[in-house]
Amino acid sequence: MSLAVAIQMDPLESVNIDADSTFALALEAQRRGHGLYHYLPRHLSYRHGRVVAKARPFKVQRVKGDHVSLGAPEIIDLAAVDVILMRQDPPFDLAYISATHLLDRVHPATLVVNDPDSVRNAPEKLFVTEFAELMPPTLITYDIDEIKEFRREHGDMIVKPIYGNGGAGVFRIKPDDTNLASLIELFQRFLNEPLMVQRYLPEIRKGDKRIILVDGKARGAVNRVPAADETRANLHVGGRAEKTTLTRREEEICEAIGPALEERGLIFVGIDVIGDYLTEINVTSPTGIQEIDRFDGVILESDIWDAIESKRGGRTDRKLPT
């Protein structure tokens, strides 16, 4: 099976080839003989009933400083592509939402991973509320009085923007912290969105576990331990990756949410678990597969492509312009 694959993402030239999940997916696609195209989200267009992209064919190799070779730009009709990987980083803003609407025009005849309609309706910090029984005590609101009441009830808490990503804007507010009102005012001044407030989970000191699910099934995990002076465990802010396995509770969480992921066409998903609680379901551009590959001696990107190819089915007869 040889597929035409377009990857919608941020610039390829700047990725960290030792950590970037999309780079690993591109390498595996190339190994399988698939043809690769790259385009930036801003180069996605609707033109007279067709969804097109100004894309560049490319090849990748695991060589730092020389990891990608890009061809000349060309306009491709995305209806002539077999698979589109929607892999640009958040923020989940109107530009992101607009891209999902455009990709809806070609999916599922062209398989978009993940399903654009489901991505649009499953922002990470809101989708998780469908599984309230798995979450820590949580409040989503604009109302500062509601936040103060939550603080009186739970004391130590985490405050974060509902559409933030990568740990940006995540604050721990302790019971005796006098900056809560000022922080809320700052958020409200610069962000026109509600805040998510959650009871602080001291288990974060042992790690925030990223679990990768492929087609609704858990395939591996990496534990991310925050630095001594940090609340956030994200690797790019100093978190340390550790080898891990799933606890029975984490297996139960995956079993509970897996059918909903599969039903919605969410093939590649990363969930975050702290202690016994599910905190986020990441469907936009999940990461973590390279760390899991190294710790566990697996090739998660191969599992993901197996799932994609099974849904794409058969050898393509589509032809891109040359």
Q: Which amino acids are annotated catalytic?
A: 125, 160, 210, 224, 232, 272, 280, 282
Alpha-carbon gap, residue 293 to 295, rounded angstroms: 6
A 10 A CB-CB count for 190 gives 9
Q: Reduce the DSSP state of residue 303 to 3 states and report it.
A: helix
Q: What is the identity of the amino acid at 34?
A: H
Alpha-carbon gap, residue 17 to 182, rounded angstroms: 40
Alpha-carbon gap, residue 123 to 305, rounded angstroms: 24
Alpha-carbon gap, residue 160 to 279, rounded angstroms: 12
Q: Please check whether residue 24 is in contact with residue 54, taking contact to mean a CB–CB distance below 8 angstroms.
A: no
Alpha-carbon gap, residue 84 to 167, rounded angstroms: 27
> Count of alpha carbons within 13 Å of 193, Cβ hemisphere only?
18
Q: What is the identity of the amino acid at 290?
A: Q
User: Each residue of 89-100: b (16+ CB within 10 Å) or e?
Assistant: ebebeeebeebb
